[in-house]
Structure 1
Amino acid sequence: MTDTSPPRPAGLALRAEADGFDLTLDGRLVLRHRADDPCLFAGRGEERMEMYRGNFDIEDYVVERSPLRHAAIEAGRIAFSSRPGEPARLRLHIEGNALRFEAPDASINRLWLRVWAEADEHVWGGGEQMSYFDMRGRRFPLWTSEPGVGRDKTSEITFRADVAGRAGGDYHNTNYPQPTFLSSRRYALHVETSAYCAFDFRASDFHEIEVWAIPERLEFFAAPDFLELVEALSNRFGRQPPLPDWVMEGAIVGLKDGEASFARLETMREAGVRVSGLWCEDWVGLRHTSFGARLFWDWRADEGRYPNLRARIAALREEGIRFLGYVNPYLCNDGTQFPEAEAAGYLATDGMGRTALVDFGEFDCGVVDFTNPEAAAWFAETVIGRNMLDYGLSGWMADFGEYLPIDVHLANGVDAKLLHNRWPVLWAEVNARAVSSRSLSGDALFFMRAGYTGVQSHCPLLWGGDQSVDFSRHDGLVTVICAALSSGLLGNAYHHSDIGGYTSLFGNVRTAELVMRWAEMAAFTPVMRTHEGNRPRQNLQIDQDPQVLAHFARMTRIYARLAPYLRDLSQEAVQRGLPVQRPLFLHFPDDARTYAIQDSYLYGPDLLVAPVWRAGETQRRLYLPQEADWVHLWTGDVHAGGREVTVESPLGAPPVFFRKDTQYQNLFLSVIKI
């Protein structure tokens, strides 16, 4: 029987040394300080931040960065100063498994801490990272933003996106950062702060943490194995409810074609597609911009575009299909709800006390101020509760949590720069509050791309954001695997993505191969959901190609057939906080060859999935972990672990293996007959 008792708290021990100290965590050295090799630096900086439609240009002018060489150890605390005899500038208080910061020097607004590291150490986490799962060797700013197009400064598409609208990304850009990392030394570190910060893993003997404020504390977690460590982090950040049973019946089909969406859905069902939900972003109506068709941000049903929608939703539900919509925390100033929110004082203001208006690309919106309890309650009850849940919606995309402008004024008086990272959590809390008010936790399902520390407690499902409609290394299909693995280690049990990608710019459009390969991967994730993308008419849709449609239908049947397994994984997530998609090392901690693998994953403990993520490939080379024999799902061939194998991977037969001794063998083998 699996031991589900919570891991004991990590123990910090301080040992004075000549000219410094060592701080250990259950015997692991984490901080080493000497006068000639200090672990702590403090100073001041003057940042420059510019936001343009969710993208940020950020740089810092460092006025002071001073090593705090002298450490005076007192009972349970360490006082740091530049040299002996000078007043303490910073103090660290040891409190259980945490270090609490105190800053007697009020001038300090920058801090750099060096955590001891081993040369061959691996580190993971950082929220939802899309380019690099093993973060060692790189620097990662942690600031919620649009990830940007292409995410590769050497690519043409990123260059063109930068030139056209400052919208090109980089490897570290993410909707969901979190200042938490796990180490292959089997401990984890979390920085409790909402300020801009960065993790720098480029040095061989230390990891440097940079924070643009005095953090509240550093929290440490330790465990003998990675499973317990992930469970401890889930205990800290919050558990999600189980996936709704209705989701596991098939795919959530995304269509934004007004009244025609219902007929297209029926065509898909007649082709054998298993459907659990119809997701219509455009339930609120459309406006047309140069980026493409955009939604009308007023968060009421547009019964001109969807006549008699409430009755259609009820009829679909009778057939076992739920209806999902879309919402975000902004109100367009030409909508019906903006005047009500403005009159009640629910919107953030500018420096003159006027309602702040944000340009979202050819239309302006007000920012609903969730630091105002009355505004948060109004949005949860009126906008989501009455307009959506009471109307019949069973789920929605809760979008744009990363967009809080840094120059608005908020009701609680906190600088928007310090609340920017926390904004997705406040947004998730509003959505969860609406769901809870209708006693629908575990049934209504909203999904978010933005996040930060604590979003796990409120958001029941992540999605990977707006990937490009291609196979590119930094913005294509493969990036959502990395996103699921990194976020899953921090207590986010459920992750999924837009099948076929979303962003289509500069002539970059979907291919049939891309859509089919993406669907193959999605069949082995917690949720299958399609999206028509930002330019639906320029891109291939699943119901436009008979081969693609037939392939997709089969993948939805495979997904539905695996529902008993997924249901068990969902219950394990509730009980232990373990993710459904898992890095290989989570179950094979002593196999160091698994530590940097980010293009294959364990689907629960018993399935290994290695999606084909390069265009034109019909074979896949992958590594099978040690201490297990692996059965190739489609051929039945048995492979010993601890080596690389190459398998044929034609369309319709993605590389999937199961453990030879699994109790789910009959279920897995039944997939072959579909």
Structure 2
Amino acid sequence: MRKLAALLTIFCYSTFFIANAQQGTYQKKESGVSITYKNTPYSIDQQLDITFISDSIVHVKSSPVERTVSPSDELILTDTIFGNSPVISVKEEHDQLLLHTVGLEVAVSLLNGQLVFLNHEGDTLLQEAPRDAGTFKLDAAGGDLFYRVKQDFQVDPQEGLYGLGQHQNGIMNYQKRQVNLLQYNTEVAVPMLVSTKNYGILWNNYAITKAGDTRPLLPLSALKLYAKTGEEGWLTATYLNKEHPDEVFTSRPESDIAYYYLSDLQKFPENIDLSKSLILYEGAISSPLSGLHRLHFKYAGYVKVWIDDKLVQNRWRESWNAGTFEVDLSFEANSKHTIKIEWKPEGTQSYLGVQCQRPLASAEQQLFSFDSEAGAGVDYYFFSGQNIDQVIGGYRKLTGKAPIMPLWSFGFWQSRERYKTQQEILAIAKEFRERNIPIDNLVLDWSYWKEKDWGSQDYDSTRFPDASGMIDQLHQNNYHFMISVWPKFNEESSTFDAFMNKGWLYRRNLADGRKDWIGEGYRSTFYDPFHEGARKGFWDLLNRKLYAKGVDAFWMDASEPDIHSNINIEERKAVFQPSIGSSTRYYNAFPLQNAKGIYEGQRETDPNKRVFILTRSAFAGQQRFAAATWSGDIASTWEDMKDQIAAGINFSMSGLPYWTMDAGGFLVEKKYHEPNDVDLEEWRELNARWYQFGTFLPIFRAHGQYPYREPFNIAPSVHPAYKSMIASIQLRYRLLPYIYSLAGKIYHEDYTMMRGLAMDFSTDKKVYNINDQFLLGPSLLVNPVTKKGFTERSVYLPNDISWYDLYTGAQYPGGQTIQAAAPYERIPVFVKAGSILPIGPILQHTEEKTSIPLTLYVYDGADGIFALYEDDGKSYGYEKGIFNTITFHYNQQDKELSISKRKGQYADAPSRRTFNIVFVDANQRHGIEAMQTKNAHRVNYTGKPLKIKLQ
């Protein structure tokens, strides 16, 4: 509370009264203050600048007074921040400066530079911990001098904290957690945090950063270890023959399990072939401390973990693409707990590492920190709002609006790793149409070039003899065509010399002689998107070879950049050599600059055709480049499917609204390659459930390694999995009026489509940690099924509102957990009372014209509003106001639906249309499974206002 802050200030002032000369000296600016602390007793020497960008956005910068490092290039922000300065007042009160706008107050201590952010009601939103000797530590890399930078914030332990990109540990709320902001396949670093107290922090830094609990992770040996036979100091590691587990290769004590990278493989026992081994780590662990401990695992292959004989994790990842998970352990001091880890590596290169965290001390439990490897100083933006949507709106004001994606991108996409020939693609396209399976986009994955020609962007003419004709044929059949493009160049490719001679390629990976995994292996490297000429040159190459021949959209793979998988962090930084500075300073920004070049290039080349980019990694600000992000090369397992829920929600709550995943998972266990009957049925069920989940994402796409991923290749048409997948795709097209209207809100209102429950129910603390439910827009509560064989699942219905089953119309009070039916063919989805849900007909593609009316489902129990959005779906006319909205209001008391006058300049919208209106309440249970035309109010709409009584 503001009163508490004032009391603390008065206490400090009366107890530690000091002369003004011992305080910081400040200077007022047009939109803030600049304060210098030099040789003051309670502050480090620092230059502190506080600048109001708007009434609710504050920029905070602090750096040593004696500045010895160069500033970082500004990559995240747009020039939209330079507008009219807000009206602020600055008042000195005791040892504080109080800076006010109409929506926000910032109190800054003149003693030590500590900031407190308060809302207009005087409640404390967030408070810095004072900067100290650990804030700035001078460091250097590659001749680049910088500071290692750390800033602690004091947070309310009861608030929910979200965002920070996409991470794969199934964690929703980042209170008391460590998040590593490091671009990697399946991991996306976005340094934007939002809170249920309706504030946000954009940490304006591009370096690898730890967020939250930033204490160093400890080796396993930080715990007290006991061997299988009871000796203290190690676990017993037994290396067995995988095929004959009775045969022991060797056994040895191991105090640490730390096989993280290629360089660690030499630490295994001599003459051990990992591909033939099963490794057991057995014994016990204890700690001198009571409280919550945490084990952090990195793994590839099969891993099972037992604690006190209870199986707590059972995971699989392919060897080249390690995953992560965490295990929570509540210990009493010095109590011994048995542990067993079973690891079945795959291949001769596989990875397993275990680190631990001790319990947080009570004072540490109120800290949330950012600790970056490099920067010019503390640099962050603080956002406040009435809700999280407004906070994200502030973020987009600074970093750019998210354009509306083309209408076709909201339909269904089909992809696989990979279509190898032109004939194969056209055959798949034909079969979808013959089976009447709705689809809008076919995707060509990597290696369409000749083996040695990676980076040429040329099709292999022996397999794609007429690529332009192929694309024309797809377009004639109402398909769009996306193609995979890597920022990678083989040394033997036809384009290599041109890019190398202009200084546009990173050189270290070539000098190190590393080869990729294609054919005989080829030396390769990546281009430098930080170089303006290289960005333009890369787009010119894509335009000439691909876009000019009809390609509709680009899939930017390996954009971390993943120059070589599984080398350690320092080696990765060595091979990544941005032209604007050291890789240490700019490590996380590659995907941002990569997307920038494609977006700006296409908009200049073809100004009125919407750009769509799919990228495997992302960074703050990337939404302005029409970039959607998918969650990388995840595994086809139930565990990985569940982890995608929290990953996608937190990504979306980072301010980037377009997220997707490989429905079905990418990496596939060998048991599914030639499955027995049991495994085949599990594969089909897994894909059916994944499609059901994917239906409700911003982008719905199926992709993965063998087995083939088309619904008709997963199951025959009589199988319930096939029927479910087709029903999921059809439902997606019925939801298009709702989904595309949400896309309009994303641009025009800075909305977020995939929503954590805390965004709409921030006063219901029960939702803060729920990691397997989410909202699609304001109306739909989505509850994926992520366990084999389950036909019901636990669903929490947020409080203070009632909910309706989407399929049956049955009503349920909020504030309770129910066991919801989840039959094979669908997942539980509930509609919030007060919703107005537009449902369209089943289409074969997004450009299909139909005379079937739109059905509006109106759900009683609260007032409601929904704006139906329309534009041409293709151009950037909406940026100039060429779009329409029709707004529907439901008045619960009067049971009346009002339809507004059509507003807008989109002249090609139908001048007359029919709406079927279906009213749903406790007594009238109408679900969307069957068209409810017989129960509908049929309304002819000509663009003029209407009112309809519903009861």
TM-score above 0.5, yes or no = yes
The whole-number CA distance in structure 1 between the counterparts of 2:580 and 2:739 is: 45
Corresponding residue number in structure 1 for 2:46: 90
Alpha-carbon deviations, 1:260-285, whole Å to 9, x = none? Answer: 23213322332331110111114624
Structure that is richer in strand per residue: 2
Mapped pair 1:118 → 2:168:
no
Mapped pair 1:563 → 2:563:
no
For 2:560, what is the secondary structure of its paired residue?
Answer: coil
Q: Give 1:505 shift.
A: 5.2
Match of 1:221 among 368, 383, 388: 383
For 1:542-581, list aligned pairs within 5 A.
Answer: 542-546=712-716, 547=719, 548-581=721-754
Letter of the 1:110 partner, please give it.
R
Letter of the 1:337 partner, please give it.
T
For 1:224-623, list aligned pairs within 5 A.
Answer: 224-254=386-416, 256-258=419-421, 259-282=423-446, 284-285=448-449, 296-350=454-508, 359-361=515-517, 362-382=521-541, 384-403=542-561, 405-408=572-575, 410=577, 412-439=579-606, 443-472=610-639, 476-504=640-668, 511-533=683-705, 535-536=706-707, 542-546=712-716, 547=719, 548-623=721-796
Mapped pair 1:145 → 2:184:
yes
**Aligned residues of 1:112 and 1:210 also touching (Cα < 8 A):** yes
Letter of the 2:46 partner, please give it.
L
Between stretches 519-528 and 342-351, larger displacement belongs to 342-351
Alpha-carbon deviations, 1:493-538, whole Å to 9, x = none? Answer: 11111110112356577811111111001111122211132x447x
Q: Give 1:586 shift.
A: 1.5
The whole-number CA distance in structure 1 between the counterparts of 2:168 and 2:647 is: 5
For 1:483, what is the secondary structure of its paired residue?
Answer: helix
For 1:452, what is the secondary structure of its paired residue?
Answer: coil
Alpha-carbon deviations, 1:475-496, whole Å to 9, x = none? Answer: x112222222112122211111
**Aligned residues of 2:450 and 2:460 also touching (Cα < 8 A):** no
Match of 1:198 among 210, 226, 233: 210
Alpha-carbon deviations, 1:359-390, whole Å to 9, x = none? Answer: 444432122122322221110112x2121211
Mapped pair 1:673 → 2:926:
no
Corresponding residue number in structure 2 for 1:104: 65
Match of 1:130 among 137, 160, 168: 168
Residues 412 and 249 (structure 1), Cα distance of their counterparts in 2 relative to 1, 3 Å cut: closer
**Aligned residues of 1:623 and 1:643 also touching (Cα < 8 A):** yes
For 1:477, what is the secondary structure of its paired residue?
Answer: helix
For 1:664, what is the secondary structure of its paired residue?
Answer: strand
Q: Give 1:116 shift.
A: 1.4
The whole-number CA distance in structure 2 between the counterparts of 1:441 and 1:89 is: 52
Q: TM-score, normalised by structure 2?
A: 0.57
Residues 631 and 411 (structure 1), Cα distance of their counterparts in 2 relative to 1, 3 Å cut: closer
For 1:324, what is the secondary structure of its paired residue?
Answer: strand
For 1:224, what is the secondary structure of its paired residue?
Answer: coil
**Aligned residues of 1:192 and 1:218 also touching (Cα < 8 A):** yes
For 2:692, what is the secondary structure of its paired residue?
Answer: helix
Residues 85 and 271 (structure 1), Cα distance of their counterparts in 2 relative to 1, 3 Å cut: closer
Q: Give 1:557 shift.
A: 1.1
Residues 146 and 178 (structure 1), Cα distance of their counterparts in 2 relative to 1, 3 Å cut: same
Residues 302 and 640 (structure 1), Cα distance of their counterparts in 2 relative to 1, 3 Å cut: same
Alpha-carbon deviations, 1:132-153, whole Å to 9, x = none? Answer: 1211121112111234xxxxxx
The whole-number CA distance in structure 1 between the counterparts of 2:770 and 2:193 is: 17
**Aligned residues of 1:234 and 1:490 also touching (Cα < 8 A):** no
**Aligned residues of 1:493 and 1:577 also touching (Cα < 8 A):** no
The whole-number CA distance in structure 1 between the counterparts of 2:792 and 2:39 is: 59
Q: TM-score, normalised by structure 1?
A: 0.78
Letter of the 2:60 partner, please give it.
L
For 1:62-77, list aligned pairs within 5 A.
Answer: 72=24, 74-75=26-27, 76-77=33-34
**Aligned residues of 1:491 and 1:578 also touching (Cα < 8 A):** no
Residues 204 and 542 (structure 1), Cα distance of their counterparts in 2 relative to 1, 3 Å cut: farther
Mapped pair 1:655 → 2:828:
yes
Unaligned runs of at least 5 residues, structure 2: 28-32, 53-57, 69-136, 139-146, 214-359, 564-571, 674-681, 839-854, 858-925, 932-951
Letter of the 2:930 partner, please give it.
K
Letter of the 2:65 partner, please give it.
P
Corresponding residue number in structure 1 for 2:224: none
Residues 562 and 413 (structure 1), Cα distance of their counterparts in 2 relative to 1, 3 Å cut: closer
Q: Give 1:540 shift.
A: 9.0
Residues 592 and 409 (structure 1), Cα distance of their counterparts in 2 relative to 1, 3 Å cut: closer
**Aligned residues of 2:482 and 2:553 also touching (Cα < 8 A):** yes
Residues 251 and 195 (structure 1), Cα distance of their counterparts in 2 relative to 1, 3 Å cut: closer
Q: Give 1:95 shift.
A: 1.9
Larger Cα Rg: Structure 1 or Structure 2? 2
Corresponding residue number in structure 2 for 1:187: 199
Alpha-carbon deviations, 1:384-442, whole Å to 9, x = none? Answer: 21212111111121111112641247473511222221111111111112321233666
Q: Give 1:222 shift.
A: 0.8
**Aligned residues of 1:191 and 1:215 also touching (Cα < 8 A):** no
For 2:574, what is the secondary structure of its paired residue?
Answer: coil
The whole-number CA distance in structure 2 between the counterparts of 1:545 and 1:82 is: 74
The whole-number CA distance in structure 2 between the counterparts of 1:419 and 1:307 is: 41
The whole-number CA distance in structure 2 between the counterparts of 1:465 and 1:411 is: 23
The whole-number CA distance in structure 1 between the counterparts of 2:189 and 2:620 is: 8
Alpha-carbon deviations, 1:563-605, whole Å to 9, x = none? Answer: 1111100000011222211112222222222222221111110
The whole-number CA distance in structure 2 between the counterparts of 1:521 and 1:440 is: 35
Corresponding residue number in structure 1 for 2:9: 17
Q: Give 1:287 shift.
A: 5.0
Between stretches 315-324 and 658-667, larger displacement belongs to 658-667
Residues 71 and 593 (structure 1), Cα distance of their counterparts in 2 relative to 1, 3 Å cut: farther
The whole-number CA distance in structure 2 between the counterparts of 1:496 and 1:365 is: 29
Unaligned runs of at least 5 residues, structure 1: 1-12, 22-33, 36-69, 148-173, 289-294
Number of matched residues?
574
For 1:468, what is the secondary structure of its paired residue?
Answer: coil
Q: Give 1:632 shift.
A: 0.6
Residues 409 and 625 (structure 1), Cα distance of their counterparts in 2 relative to 1, 3 Å cut: closer
Q: Give 1:316 shift.
A: 1.2
The whole-number CA distance in structure 1 between the counterparts of 2:699 and 2:42 is: 60
Alpha-carbon deviations, 1:320-352, whole Å to 9, x = none? Answer: 11111100111112221112222333212349x
**Aligned residues of 2:724 and 2:826 also touching (Cα < 8 A):** no
**Aligned residues of 1:300 and 1:387 also touching (Cα < 8 A):** yes
**Aligned residues of 2:723 and 2:825 also touching (Cα < 8 A):** no
The whole-number CA distance in structure 2 between the counterparts of 1:578 and 1:508 is: 40
